[in-house]
A and B are shown apart, each in its own frame.
Chain A
């Protein structure tokens, strides 16, 4: 069952030089008991998408159009007060750069307690007990509840952040770059934790790290320049990529088990979102470029069942 349905979401940042189309007409669904990965290079709109789901787009950004249905209700139409109730209870987020996501002058436990008590009418002592259990469940010594953020290591903070995101048993957890800025050993621990968490709630995992996505996610959306260019199961995306960008992305990524080959970078630079390329946004960098690509908007083509790609020549190339 779909917990989250996003239809035609557009987020623009209004600047003096014009509007930056950070997220431009994207649609996807996230299902119960499933992990959805959103991948793409820096600046393609992954984090903006995550923030839009929480309705936390910072100024001067704004959601121009689109529906975000959480359990059937459109959160874009909710009042700020209603939205406050939804946050953390129905949808929660573990932030990118969680190392900074705790208030430096409040204890870890205190902040988890605050998150719990904002939504549930429980005593401080009870909430604190729960905070300790939550920390334990993510493999952080519950004694750390009384500690301040600077007393914890990066990995511990990241795990504490995930436990805080889980504090009110949300239906959907958005994890924005949960493993970025962590060393590989801690990354592995956090990934293990994410897998465990994933068995309990629906999750949207945002990462530029394809290996993390392939490890955890059932379905994957690849974003490029504010658009979802390919959407399908992990199997489809990683073994039968249909969009030239996905292919480029995959070949720019080393494989441990596969044959040794030269890593190929995608030529050119990510586009300027103030004046994105016409029609297919990938066309200036695409090795399969044809005339049509710069004049006609590419359609979403269903390459195989439930495997879509935004390319005129999907399935052909």
Chain B
């Protein structure tokens, strides 16, 4: 066995990694040529380079296993992850296969991933030995999908949590990445693999700033992510609702007559719609996505805006400048756009800002009730999850509620300030 650059690994002596873990090789077969395994301490996990160069004209399979030790002395975890990254350079006819196992202190080996395993998504790897180039992405192993190396361990007990089974005892565990290479017939074939980032990540029930939820997802991350949806739905639905209300209000107020009557009756109709039952019906009819929720809030909110704008426009209509504009030959559309709109826009802006908190609270309410978009996590969804799990932790249920209140009142205060500046009746000198 010939070793190349870096700190070479031998079968007998383990090498210490950056975090104090030990790395070693096992089961190296070298009968077809030269195999070298080198370790370098780069990154947080180090990198292992495996090089193979064929020297004989026989065909066959060569293999090597890279083993990393892991100390575990805690109760059985609810879940674990094994991220890693493999890059591969090889002659075109070289086939390969990788397999990842965890060996517990009692020397029971669990295979948690195999490049021929149907759960793996490795490119072109599904057929076992493949001859295509490959850059594997970082893999996360879902412990529920692991099938054990020794089938008998799991026989009749397939629904049990693999993580709890595998990490059942305290002691030194090993993570083993087995690699097999099958070169073609030519005597010049070779291959190089680099394994980086191999780690075993065991999340406890409380990791991160605010712990994790029932599926081990970080609550703080959800909280931050939820802000995006609150702002998105709040601002977008308010803009849509105000735009709609503005259009209807200006047209109804200025043109008046039958059209006004018609539009206002529609507004009345929408105003008296019972919000929640309406929403439940809609969520059954439509598949609720964040876009439909945005539209629903806008559509249920415009009549208020339309009424306010209409009353202002009716007042404006009798002002002399409207007659002057008409006398100067301005068309109705022009009067609506150039004369009415700029005059009502300060009020529209105030209404826009005041609309947002309502929209945010509505979104939170909808998703809390489970009527929202199941593919996104927002504050209502979080509260719902916490509720479903009996309020297991106050730091789970309170932060989304507090943030909802803070963001809403923030917009509300801005709206009140704008109102007292722009509304002459409330202006204080």
Contacts and interface: CB of A to CB of B under 8 A. Distances in A.
A165 B319 CA distance: 18
Nearest to B343: A105
Given A103-B339, A104-B343, A56 B323 contact: yes
B328 A164 contact: yes
Residue of B324, B328, B331 with most chain A CB atoms under a 10 A cut-off: B328
Interface in A69-108: 84-89, 92-93, 95-98, 100-106
B321 interface: yes
Given A87-B328, A114-B330, A119-B329, A106 B338 contact: yes
Contact of A100 (B320, B330, B342): B320
Interface residues of B, number: 17
A103 B343 contact: yes
A211 interface: no
Given A103-B339, A104-B343, A114-B338, A87 B320 contact: no
Q: For the side of the interface on A, what is the size category?
A: 20 to 34
Nearest to A149: B321
Residue among B326, B329, B342 with the highest chain A CB neighbour number at 10 A? B329
Interface in B322-354: 323-331, 334, 338-339, 342-343
Contacts of B325: 103, 111, 114
A115 B342 contact: no
Contacts of A104: 321, 343
Given A100-B321, A101-B321, A103-B339, A95 B329 contact: no
Contact of A56 (B321, B326, B334, B342): B326
A118 interface: yes
A100 B328 CA distance: 15
B328 A95 contact: no
A92 B338 CA distance: 20
Nearest to B346: A105
Contacts of B328: 87-88, 92, 114-115, 118, 164, 167
Q: Give the secondary structure class of A's interface.
A: mixed
Interface string B294-334: 00000000000000000000000001110111111111001
A229 interface: no
Contacts of B330: 84, 114, 118
B329 A97 contact: no
Contacts of B324: 93, 95, 101-102, 161, 164
Given A103-B339, A105-B342, A98 B327 contact: no
Given A95-B324, A98-B320, A101-B324, A106 B339 contact: yes
Nearest to B319: A100
A29 B321 CA distance: 28
Interface in A226-273: none
Interface in A99-136: 100-106, 111, 114-115, 118-119
A284 B384 CA distance: 83
Given A100-B319, A101-B321, A54 B338 contact: no
10 contacts: A87-B329, A95-B324, A97-B320, A98-B320, A101-B320, A103-B321, A103-B325, A114-B338, A164-B328, A167-B328
Interchain residue pairs A-B with the least CB separation, the first 10: A100-B320, A115-B328, A101-B324, A101-B320, A105-B342, A87-B329, A103-B321, A118-B329, A88-B328, A84-B329
Given A106-B339, A164-B324, 19 more contacts: A56-B323, A84-B330, A87-B326, A88-B327, A88-B328, A89-B329, A95-B320, A95-B327, A101-B320, A101-B321, A101-B324, A102-B321, A103-B321, A103-B325, A103-B339, A106-B338, A114-B325, A114-B328, A114-B334
